[in-house]
Amino acid sequence: MAAGGNVSAASVGWLSAVPFLMAIIVMQILPLFVKGTGNLNRVASSTILISGLSIVLGAAFGDVSIALNIVLLVIAGATLYASQPPIWSTLNTIVSRKVAGRIVGTMNASGVIGGFSGSYLVGVARDVTGKFSAGLWVLGGCLILSSVLFLWVRQSQSLEVPAVA
């Protein structure tokens, strides 16, 4: 946008901060939904699904309006960043503390692999189709798939409680 000359670099900077500011607000609201539903997985999966659908809608209707695309990307960014605390909190409900460190390491490693492969897939999709929206379709599809997979995570009812020394 700034390269096109229509918007200053400072305006682009302020605009790029909006998803993060919205994520802060959504992060404050999500615990109320978790408390109300009692299902951490459903809340986390829902926020990931909203993010994925927003990206897919942005890819589908990106040519209609730049304002609509910006709103959809703000929603996608805010809900994706806001989904992180419930995702990481789920860890405590499915594994014991003895293996939690290993699981966190594995999750971080898969995040690094996903960061590389996601960027690569977006580039391949763009090269194959010649359209930037193809990369958005890939990202949105991956988020929708991950929201469905996250619903399969089961919360354990029988985790051992560590003894207090």
pLDDT tens, position by position, 25-79:
998 988 888 888 877 888 889 999 999 999 999 999 888 888 898 899 999 999 9
Report yes or no on 164 lying in a domain.
no
pLDDT for position 162: 44
The more confidently predicted of residues 155 and 70 is: 70
Overall number of domains in the chain? 1
Report yes or no on 43 lying in a domain.
yes
The more confidently predicted of residues 94 and 126 is: 126
Asked if residue 50 lies in contact with residue 146, where contact means CB atoms within 8 angstroms, the answer is: no
Statement: residue 12 has pLDDT above 80: yes
Asked if residue 85 lies in contact with residue 103, where contact means CB atoms within 8 angstroms, the answer is: no
Asked if residue 81 lies in contact with residue 23, where contact means CB atoms within 8 angstroms, the answer is: yes
Report yes or no on 124 lying in a domain.
yes
Which residue type sits at 3?
A
As a whole number of angstroms, the distance between CA 83 and CA 51 comes to: 9
pLDDT for position 76: 94
Report yes or no on 157 lying in a domain.
no
Report yes or no on 165 lying in a domain.
no
Report yes or no on 137 lying in a domain.
yes
Backbone angles phi, psi at 12, to 5 degrees: -65, -40
Cα–Cα separations (whole angstroms), residue 108 to 28, 72, 77, 105, 119: 24, 27, 20, 5, 17
Report yes or no on 156 lying in a domain.
no
pLDDT for position 164: 42
Residue 60 CA neighbour count, 13 Å, CB half: 9
Report yes or no on 90 lying in a domain.
yes
Residues 6 or more apart in contact with residue 47 via CB below 8 angstroms: 26, 30, 79, 80, 82, 83, 86
Could you report the per-residue pLDDT of 123-150, keeping only the tens digit for each?
A: 999 999 998 889 999 999 999 999 999 8
pLDDT for position 134: 92
DSSP 121: H
Residue in the structure block whose two tokens are 């988020």: 143
Asked if residue 62 lies in contact with residue 136, where contact means CB atoms within 8 angstroms, the answer is: yes
> 120 pLDDT band (50/70/90 cuts)?
very high
pLDDT (average), residues 1-5: 53
Q: Return the SS3 of 26.
A: helix
Host domain of residue 46: 9-151
